[in-house]
Structures are given as C-alpha cells and as structure tokens.
Amino acid sequence: MNVQKLDRQYIAPTYNRFPVTIVSGRGSVVTDEDGKEYIDLGSGIAVNTFGVSDPVWQEAVIAQLGKVQHSSNLYYTAPCALLAEQLCLRTGMRKVFFSNSGAEANECLIKALRKGAADRFGPERNLIVTLENSFHGRTLTTLSATGQERFHALFQPLTPGFVHVPAGDLEALRTLTEQNAGRIAGILIECVQGEGGVIPLEPDYVKGLADLAEEQDILLGVDEVQTGNGRTGALYAYMRYGLKPDVVSTAKGLAGGLPLGATLLGERLAGVFGPGDHGSTFGGNPVCAAAALSVLERIDDALLAEVREKSDYLFRTMQGAEGVAAVAGLGLMIGILPAEKSAAEVVAACRERGVLCLTAKDRVRLLPALNIPRELWERAVGILLECCK
C-alpha cells in the first residue's frame, strides 16, 4: 500500500504534509514506514506531551477504555469531574467546560465573554479585541478572532464583532477602548503567538493590557491552546506573566495525544452558563479525560523546572550562533530564525538527518515532548545548529 498516494487521492488537500509516513514511536523517537528513526521536536504540534506511546499515559487510557469509552453528557462520569477539579485547584479558576479541540475551546471562551459582558452590561457590550498576527482556530468564529487577514479573505462573511490591534502597542489598545467605550466585552490574547511565529508578548505590554482591562471592566481571556499544559515552563503561560484571566482556553497537549479542549472560567464568569447555553456530544469524553488526568499529574514542579532548563540550554547554544539570526520563545515553545536559509530549507535538512521540526511563518518551530531525554535534546539541537549553517 502506498499511503502517501492514497492520501493524496482521497483526502482534501488542506495540508502541506512532509513526505514522511509515521507508523510508530516510543517517547521522542518516531519511526517511518521504511524503519527510519527521527528525533521528534514537534510532538504532533505540541500534543504528545510525553511523546509517543508513553507507558504511563497508555496505562491510564487503556484502564478507562476497559471501563466505558463514552457515556454522553447526560450522565456523570468520574474522569471529567476529577479532571475539572484538578484544573480548578491548580489554576484558581472556578468552572470548566470540556470540548474536543482548541477551536471549540475558543468558541466557548468567546461565548463566555459575550454572555458574561451582556449579563452585566447589556447586549451592546459585545466587541472582542484580539491581536494582529494571532491565531485562534479554523471555525468561522475563531477565524474571525484570528488577527491575520490571509485567513479571512476566502470565507466572507465572517462572524462580526471582532477588532484587531497590533500586538505590543498599548496606545493603540487604549485608543480603541476610548473610541469604543462601553462596547468592549473582552480582550483575548495568546501570551506567546504560536502560529504567528513563536513570538512572546512583552511582559510590560501584557501588564498594561491587563491593567487597562481591569480599569474598564473588560473581561480578559487567554488562549492557552498551544502554550498550556507545561509547554512554556509553567502550567499555563499566563502564570509566567502574573495574569489573572477571567477565562482560559486550552487543548493541544492537555490529554497528551487524544482530542480534548477545556475552557476554564474564573470568578467573574463562573455562573455564565446554565443548562442549554452550551454543549458538546464528545466533550469531556472519559478516555480523553483519564488521559488528561494522568498528564496533569505529571506536570509538577520538577518537570516544569526541567522544561525551563532544556529551554535555557537551547537559548545558550543557539543564540548568536553561526547561521542563526534570532531565537525566541518561552519554555519548550521555541522559534528560530535562520540567518541565510529559509525555515523550510532548515526543516528539510533536519529531516534528512533524522530530526523532525516544524515551521511557523519564517521560523523553525520546536515543540518537543516535555520529557524529551536531555541526551536526545542536545543531539537534536546540535543537528539543528549544523543545518542552520
């Protein structure tokens, strides 16, 4: 069977796939159909938190599969109740809504901002501010939230009510809030713009933005779909910025490789949803929730310290090195701008040499498993460095 040929014949060509067919793996090493092994620095776009077929994760999944795989949200199940408890205890948030993806977690976040503001101030307070170069998902509403024109052109009309301001420009935000006084429901940010090129927001800007939101009673939402679940060296990236958001969305790495989204509601939004206001057939699936419980339990202080150390190692090794124009990111969410080559060229060269990397805009993007063994990490960074030259 020629998988790549079959795929090209029958699957809608929305992805530019790399010419590799992954068949198996163990931890941070994946194997293609020819038996070639790669060190995986993408982990399925920040999804496989503990790599591929991690034994602890597998055990949690298999144990739940042996009990019940799905029950619908018409009944209670233990895994999603326990997971919601853990998420709340570890963030100080008050309630959780479970879905299946990042876009859905953001849809729920947007509904919470809209309804939360309308409940308190009336329905004309419905604008949501997001940042230019952001990415919030592929559904029509999350595309509208996404501050990148190239995603908008083909799918008009989009959901109205979104306004984009340049990231890092506090004056632009202040002007916008003045021009739209009493009309802004919420602000939604990614602390590190992932798809936008792995660009961390400046701490001073984020603080100014949060203060402005507080002053004007504007709700603050943080999209932690990519930055969440230990990725940046804190459980959630907003913690590294000292924020106290009203609502947080997360997905990608939450269940370590199974589809699960979560929207965390803080004090001011804890009561925003009542029966029938939102729902999802698959959301809170017990197998995904059991996987996430196991993942969360392992994202402890020791692991987070390890994430920050591995990050420091990369910055020390690559910043200012030959062939490297810039290194940016937070924790194990890193973007590297090659000095002379394109990101795609570097990624192709790495792949030849058995290292899988991703791109984001003009950057080589790294999102390794949080527990990638140090020896593998250092070896992969060495190869990446050579490929940048």
Among 116, 137, 221, 230, binds ligand PLP (CB under 6 A): 137
Q: What is the 3-state secondary structure (H, E, C) of the chain?
A: CCHHHHHHHHCCCCCCCCCCCEEEEEECEEEECCCCEEEECCHHHHCCCCCECCHHHHHHHHHHHCCCCCCCCCCCCHHHHHHHHHHHHHHCCCEEEEECCHHHHHHHHHHHHHHHHHHHHCCCCCEEEEEECCCCCCCHHHHHHCECHHHCHHHCCCCCCEEEECCCCHHHHHHHHHHCCCCEEEEEECCEECCCCCEECCHHHHHHHHHHHHHCCCEEEEECCCCCCCCCCCCCHHHHCCCCCCEEEECCCCCCCCCCEEEEECHHHCCCCCCCCCCCCCCCCHHHHHHHHHHHHHCCHHHHHHHHHHHHHHHHHHCCCCCEEEEEEECCEEEEEECCCCHHHHHHHHHHCCEECEEECCEEEECCCCCCCHHHHHHHHHHHHHHHC
Among 42, 147, 186, 194, binds ligand PLP (CB under 6 A): 194
What's the min distance (Å) between Cβ of 234 and ligand PLP?
Answer: 16
What's the min distance (Å) between Cβ of 40 and ligand PLP?
Answer: 18
Closer CB to ligand PLP, 198 or 218, in the complex: 198
Window of 11-19, 99-107, 270-278, 341-349 that interacts with ligand PLP by CB under 6 A: 99-107
101 counts as binding ligand PLP under rule CB under 6 A: yes
Window of 1-9, 34-42, 132-140, 340-348 that interacts with ligand PLP by CB under 6 A: 132-140
49 counts as binding ligand PLP under rule CB under 6 A: no
360 counts as binding ligand PLP under rule CB under 6 A: no
x/- site string to ligand PLP, residues 139 to 158, per CB under 6 A?
--------------------
Among 40, 107, 223, 246, binds ligand PLP (CB under 6 A): 223
Closer CB to ligand PLP, 135 or 377, in the complex: 135
213 counts as binding ligand PLP under rule CB under 6 A: no
Q: Which residue is nearest to ligand PLP (CB)?
A: 102
Window of 153-161, 188-196, 336-344, 376-384 that interacts with ligand PLP by CB under 6 A: 188-196
x/- site string to ligand PLP, residues 238 to 267, per CB under 6 A?
-------------xx---------------
Closer CB to ligand PLP, 168 or 323, in the complex: 168
The residue ranges that bind ligand PLP (CB under 6 A) are 101-103, 106, 135-137, 190, 194-195, 223, 225-226, 251-252
